[in-house]
A and B are shown apart, each in its own frame.
Chain A
Amino acid sequence: MRPAPYIFEEPTNLAQAFQNLKHGTPIAGGQNLMAALRMRQINTPCLVSLEKIECFSNDIQITGDAIRIGALTTISELLNCAVITNELPWLHAAASRLGDTQVKNLATVVGNICWSDPRANMSVALLASRAEIKVVNEKLLERSVAIRDFFTGFQKNCLDNELVSSILVPRNSGDAGAYTEFSRQPNDLALVNVCVVNNQKSMVAVTGGTCSTPIVVTLEDPGNVKNGDSTLHRVISKLEDCADQFVSDQFGSSSYKLELAQVLLKRTLLIVREQL
């Protein structure tokens, strides 16, 4: 199958981009979007490439207390960045499980969160990392959105005629953390994924793939994760509160997904605890 007709724009600055986007759809790596266009699940009159926008970069920089991931940084570039490997190993783990080599070479980190699939690896790992999303609007005004407020539904987010310009991840987001996922085969779509990041102030446990958006559980208690079963029970209890929103599909019932989430949380917490 092949896409329905569209015009293709390649703006070089944001003003042009927003002009084009009035009737268009942005494309960065396009690894989810192109499949949807080919299967005609999405039709758009105009595809707006973000590739040549001068102020959008594909780099990863340390800016003060944060690590800044550019709007066009690909998964491969993230994986090859020593800062990520050293400081955010759970993000690295999530990226390494995302798609295959060819997909990683084109898919962008920002694109992965903007697609807003509840099991997207980057979404889950960045939620646990307490990332901040920098967003720019057509007036070229920038605002920050806590990633926790970013996702609003299945493949929906809070962007309102806006583009994500970068992602900031606090350098002190965690002193320990781990990402795990359950998929039928590695590099496959995750059925359920979990990321837990712990620091001196709190522990964040994020579960993806079960509901329309990832479930975030924060325990404001330093060293929480060391409490073992008690921590697990507290997280699972919050997960169970959302159980009526769990989704069933051909890969498993909602109750199976709850069980998977519990297993993954238990295993992930164990990994994190061993790091402390």
Chain B
Amino acid sequence: MANQTISFQLNGESHTVNVTPRELLTDVLRDKASIKSVRFGCEEGACGSCTIELNGQTVKSCMIPAVRANGKSISTIEGSDLSEITKKVQTAFASCHALQCGYCTSGMIMSAANLLKKNSGQNLTDEEIKNGIAGNICRCTGYNNIIHAIKVANGQAEPLAESESALNKSDNWIGKPLQRREDKRLVAGKGRFVDNHGEYGDLHAAVARSTKAHAKILKIDTQVAEKMSGVRRVITGAEAKKYWKPLAPTMELLDLKLPKRYALAVDKVVFYGEPVALVIADDPYIAEDAAESIKVQYGDLPVNTDPTAIISAIDEPERLLYPEWETNTQVEVRFEHGEVNSVFASAGLVIEEKIGSHRYSAMPMETRTARADYDKDEDHLIIRASTQIAHQMRMAIGQVFGIPESRIEVLAGDVGGGFGAKLSVDSEYFAVLGTMLCHKPVRWSETRAGWMHAGPGARDYHTTSRAAFDRNGTVIAMETDIVADMGCDGAERGCGIGMPLNGGNYAPGPYTIENYRTNIRCVVTNKGPYNAYRGYGKDLANMLIERLLDQAADKLEIDPIEIRKRNLLTKYPFQLVTGPIIENGTLRECLEKLAKNMKLSELRKEQANALREGRHLGLALVPYIEPAGATFPGSTSQNYESITLRIAADGSVHVITGIQSLGQGIETVYAQVCADQLGCAIDDVTVSWGDTKASPFGSGTFSSRGAMFAVGAIINATEKLIPRIKIGASVIFECDPSEVIIKNGVISCLKSELAISFKELAFAAYVQPGAEIILADADGPLLEALGVYRHPQVNWKPDDLGRMQFYPAHANGAAGALVEVDIETGKVDVKKIWMVADHGVILNPLILQGQIKGSIVQQLGGTIYENLAYDDEGKPLANTLKEYGMPTVWAAPEIEIDHLVSKSPSTSVGAKGAGEDGSIATSTVLMAAVEDALRVHNVKVMSCPLSPFKVKEMIKKAME
């Protein structure tokens, strides 16, 4: 297509560029005008990450052909001519923790600022604010803090955070609601996301995907693609086998089976959307043209999307995804303890229910993306990727391509959300194969539809669960039979297989259940892969026991809170029947505080009054435990984390970690910890991550490991450096090292009142007079140390019953919900969520609350709106965020969070890890609240989604 020259005003300056007619304005701004704040998050104009002002009005630049911008005026957040209102919004977002990963933030701020401009200083209602930003999706924050920030920018509310300069420097930094350091770049649109590192001349990868869920590949015709101008390489799965090995598994524990698939299907496809051929081309448009032109002939195989269907290898061999397994069960795990059968046989009350959840997905705003650059002469590969696990990615790439890890550098800057879904390496190999074949940098970005079809799914549990009770409501035995749908695989392309295992392991909950049996089957079907997702099966565990307890409370006419109190553990440490040890906590206290905070008796009156008016309000409370800091044998989730702590010659302090920033605020929190523990000034601390060449080996970010492991590693390193600092200073002060104190960046002598700065000490150690003099008596001459933290509360050696301890700490809490159900339509309106949470010592309350709020709305979205559904042919029904049901700001209820603190006895500062509360308890408490609302109609709520259609079906069924 002929190029056209267009001109526009961009942030006050004239720009003239050549474009092809089909080029999207987002692409042109990013690649031809260096505006990186506009980002792709979807194909349909739903996410708003690309929002700009065009002639003063907010629009989504991905929905506009660039040629239409000719002669118009464009404003983005990078502009040097930003309005005062926009600057106020930027400041307010940072001071209200209204962003986490930052991927959506530029677009969100553009919409918020435009809203304020149009309303010129008038106070805004929550509804008006929601209307203004409904076109911008945020996956991290749960929206509450965004609404608050907009009010702050409009002069209607006060900031939530405190800046470093505003805080009293003589105080400890740990525990302070410090404003995040990372926000400065993120609110300015300068996040370091993968796609920001693309350069002109990069090649682009696109994949042709399977249009069948289960079929033999008979023939692939790539001729048209190969002849297209601008196409550098077309490669099928069969040909690619020459260049790579099968996918590196994410998990290889127990006796689970691995599919041993390649990143491109070779002879058959096992899910709709599976990549079958790869195209490398000069630009992403041509790459997609070529991928679309590839024709595949398939030989249909029977499709199975039902994990509970028992597939017989003898009767139906063609329905097996991997015939060599002779089954579709990827792993089956059984555990039994106590007298389960006999107790059930003699129990006064047995409750049995089919409890489960549908399939949904982490769905971060940044999909999976990678840029790979292989230097053949140097035999060196640099890959930038959106990942939670930079070191493991290096390991996987080395394994798949046979490249020594020492020649691979993985860089992960800012990551636009992960939530567990970026704990594997699967499609990122495309960029690597592309650069190795074409010897130029290759970029690959997953489309949103690509994520819907081939990205990681989660949940999808089907259980039969039962519990036996005595007359007092004590659980005397429990049994769970769990089937989880792995899709095509839950261990190679992802590590979701641990979710149902956790579900079965933790189902007895924090209760004194002595007789327990579980049977967990992880079954493959012709759906997309299955990966970890925030909650990681602890959501299932919570759902199973708590739903059974509610049913028993109903039958025995015991108050739901009372029945829990009768069963809750009575002393700490407490070992669950399945092995995990809950070290300490405040389960009972959280439940009591929650009831008080909710003003339960008043709400019950309101509920009764509403019912008289024909309105159905529902209330529920559930306790929860949050096992944190996962470590698994047979995986790369090691029981340690490490950091490098370096004091440079100018006294600046550098913390380099293998923990990955996903928006959880490590840049800020680790600086707080380091300043407190080392005694340096917080301004002098820099935190770096996501660079496998710079940081020591780390397991990456998942399961709240940052607060538990990396903080321990920082403290370990400071403990190594502090004696050296004291020895060095004692030489300078001519005193005993024990007389040296270090605080707020000042190193002083107790006796003489002499004092030096970190800069002076460091100069003395590095240069004048040098380490050989001032550190002669130290254990080393360097002001640099490797800090390692190995968790003592982990046990990978099975006890006599085969039980192990994978989670070293257990945060706990209680969640409450108030809902209203429209019984005519089935629509659930979540009016408020309460939470009382105990995460041990709080490192930064602002960030902790942000994590909790985000997890609540995320799981609320999954419970009510989101659905990765398939038809009988295995074709996904959702292609877009709207079809999928991504929660917008309208989904966010009012949230009230309170805390109790029980210092962890097993971590360095007593923190227990946080961030999954909402993901664990929200589904359960919403199901219970909806059931409570519909109690007058005898509706049981044992599964989600709680979509209007499903809830209406439940109501109709109960009324039959």
Residues of A within 8 A of B (CB): 1-8, 10, 30-31, 34-35, 37-40, 47, 49, 51, 76, 99-103, 105-106, 182, 184-189, 191, 249-253, 256, 259-260, 263
Contact = CB atoms under 8 A, between A and B. Distances in A.
A5 B22 contact: yes
Interface string B279-296: 000001100110010000
Contacts of A260: 825
Contact of A106 (B59, B878, B891): B59
Given A30-B65, A34-B62, A106-B63, 19 more contacts: A2-B284, A5-B21, A6-B1, A8-B65, A31-B45, A39-B879, A101-B58, A102-B60, A106-B64, A184-B885, A184-B948, A185-B887, A187-B131, A191-B948, A252-B948, A252-B949, A253-B949, A256-B953, A263-B824
Given A1-B288, A101-B111, A106-B63, A186 B134 contact: yes
Contact of A34 (B20, B65, B865, B878): B65
B49 to A, nearest CB: 11
Contacts of B68: 49, 51
Contacts of A106: 59, 63-64
Nearest to B822: A263
A265 B877 CA distance: 29
Contact of B44 (A7, A39, A49, A100): A39
A252 B115 CA distance: 35
Interface string B879-897: 1101101011011000000
A105 B284 CA distance: 28
Given A6-B21, A182-B825, A187 B888 contact: yes
Interface in B41-59: 43-45, 48, 51, 57-59
Contacts of A6: 1, 21-22
Interface string B541-568: 0000000000000000000000000000
A8 B45 contact: no
Interface string B122-134: 0000000011101
A31 B4 CA distance: 23
A184 B111 CA distance: 22
Interface of B: 1-2, 4, 20-22, 24, 27, 43-45, 48, 51, 57-60, 62-65, 67-68, 111, 114-115, 130-132, 134-136, 284-285, 288-289, 292, 447, 449, 824-825, 827, 865, 867, 869, 877-880, 882-883, 885, 887-888, 890-891, 947-949, 952-953
Given A5-B1, A185-B888, A185-B890, A102 B48 contact: yes
A3 B48 CA distance: 19
A51 B20 CA distance: 19
Contacts of B878: 250
Contact of A184 (B22, B65, B449, B865): B865
Contacts of A102: 45, 48, 51, 58-60, 111, 135
A51 B70 CA distance: 12
Given A100-B48, A188-B888, A250-B867, A2 B292 contact: no
Contacts of A3: 22, 24, 65, 285
16 contacts: A1-B288, A3-B24, A4-B292, A6-B21, A8-B21, A34-B65, A38-B43, A40-B292, A102-B58, A103-B135, A105-B57, A185-B888, A187-B135, A252-B949, A256-B949, A259-B825
Contact of B64 (A34, A76, A259): A34
A106 B54 CA distance: 10
The 3 tightest CB contacts between A and B, nearest first, are A100-B135, A8-B21, A252-B949
B952 A8 contact: no
A256 B891 contact: no
A14 to B, nearest CB: 20
B22 A4 contact: yes
Nearest to A10: B67
Nearest to B135: A100
B815 to A, nearest CB: 22
A2 B890 CA distance: 29
Contacts of A259: 824-825, 952
Contact of B135 (A38, A101, A189): A101
A256 B135 contact: no
Contacts of B45: 31, 34-35, 102-103
Nearest to A36: B44
Given A1-B449, A5-B289, A106-B64, A251 B891 contact: no
Contact of A30 (B64, B131, B891, B947): B64
A2 B24 contact: yes
Nearest to B67: A8
Contacts of A5: 1, 20-22, 285, 289
A3 B131 CA distance: 30
A35 B47 CA distance: 12
Contacts of B947: 184, 251
A8 B868 CA distance: 36
B882 A186 contact: no
A211 B900 CA distance: 54
A251 B364 CA distance: 23
Given A3-B22, A7-B1, A252-B949, A187 B134 contact: yes
Contacts of A31: 45, 63
A188 B877 contact: no
A35 B43 CA distance: 6
A101 B116 CA distance: 13
Contacts of A101: 58, 111, 114-115, 131-132, 134-135
Nearest to B21: A8
A250 B825 CA distance: 16
Contacts of A30: 63-65
B897 to A, nearest CB: 23
B35 to A, nearest CB: 17
A211 to B, nearest CB: 18
A184 B115 CA distance: 24
A43 to B, nearest CB: 9
A186 to B, nearest CB: 5
A188 B879 CA distance: 15
Contacts of A100: 48, 134-136
Contacts of B891: 185
A256 B888 contact: no
A34 B888 contact: no
A75 to B, nearest CB: 12
A250 B58 contact: no
A32 to B, nearest CB: 9
A274 B684 CA distance: 67
Contact of B288 (A2, A7, A99, A185): A2
Contacts of B289: 4-5
Nearest to B871: A250
Nearest to A264: B825
Nearest to B24: A2
A76 B22 contact: no
Contacts of A51: 68
A10 B71 CA distance: 13
A47 B21 CA distance: 9
Kindly name the residue among A1, A30, A260 whose own CB sees the greatest number of chain B CB atoms within 10 A. Answer: A1
A251 to B, nearest CB: 6
A30 B60 CA distance: 11
Contacts of A256: 949, 952-953
A101 B952 CA distance: 31
A40 B59 CA distance: 21
A105 B58 contact: yes
Contacts of B65: 3, 8, 30, 34, 47
A71 to B, nearest CB: 16
A146 to B, nearest CB: 32
A247 to B, nearest CB: 13
Contacts of B885: 184
A186 B890 contact: yes
B882 A188 contact: yes
Nearest to A51: B68
Given A101-B135, A105-B57, A260-B825, A2 B952 contact: no
A105 B52 CA distance: 12
